[in-house]
Amino acid sequence: MFRGTTDLEARVLQVQTAHSPEQRDDLLRELEPHVRRIASRVCRRVITQQDDEYMIAYRALDEALEKFKPDFNASFLSFAYKVIQRRLVDYFRQEGKHHRVLPMGGTGTRADENQNQELVSVSFERHNNEELDRMRRMEIEIFIKALAKFDISLNDLAKKKPKHRDTRENLFQIARQLVADQSLLHKFYTQKRPDKELAKALGMHRRTLSRHRDYLIALTIVRVEDLGLLRSYIGL
């Protein structure tokens, strides 16, 4: 993936200024997994490249690539999510549908229709499960690589997970604050021992921030990389 939190935004700005179709296509291909993940979350079902919703989402990603600005106070993926969501909602309104219709052939009898519907249901459920497993594995791979940049493993994270739900929810709010402010997030990432200024900006005691730093890093990664399927793993 990308080497750091701001690398993606830097790549986007580079593509915008270079006006190179080749660089643009390369970046779109790298971001393609996010298209399916975001579209699936918006549609509340697994979206594949064969779905109309996928093409709507892919074009929306290209639109986000064109319109993103560094002063939006949000990561590119957060901005892309909003653009994709808007375009899919527009599509649903225009088409007046939320699900694809899967036609099946047959003799036309009621028994055949019931059997076809059952086969479609079983096939679709199996496909959904396989696609979800694939997406989950991909998210875990992205998550592990991102954690490794901070010398954090999944085992480390499991040991440092706060026991109290109130603490986890408070840290989740802090993560939202960090992701919304790129300069603050960069400062947090680069300080292995958070200073008083950073702790004050986040409304936390310095010791508390240091104690939960690894878990807070994991929360920010989940938000920056938009890893929705992993939220349950870290207690959200």
The series of mean pLDDT values per 10 residues for the chain, 236 residues long, is: 59 89 90 87 82 92 90 77 87 63 45 47 55 73 87 87 85 88 88 89 90 91 78 56
> What is the structure's pLDDT at 188?
92
Which ranges in the chain are annotated with CATH 1.10.1740?
A: 1-101
Alpha-carbon distance of 178 to 173, in angstroms, equals: 9
> What is the structure's pLDDT at 96?
61
| Residue that has been written with the tokens 């892309």 in this structure | 80
pTM for the full model? 0.52
Q: What is the full DSSP assignment across 30-76?
A: HHHHHHHHHHHHHHTS---TTSHHHHHHHHHHHHHHHH--GGGSS-H
* Farthest CA pair distance, the chain: 75
CATH code for the structural domain at 1-101: 1.10.1740
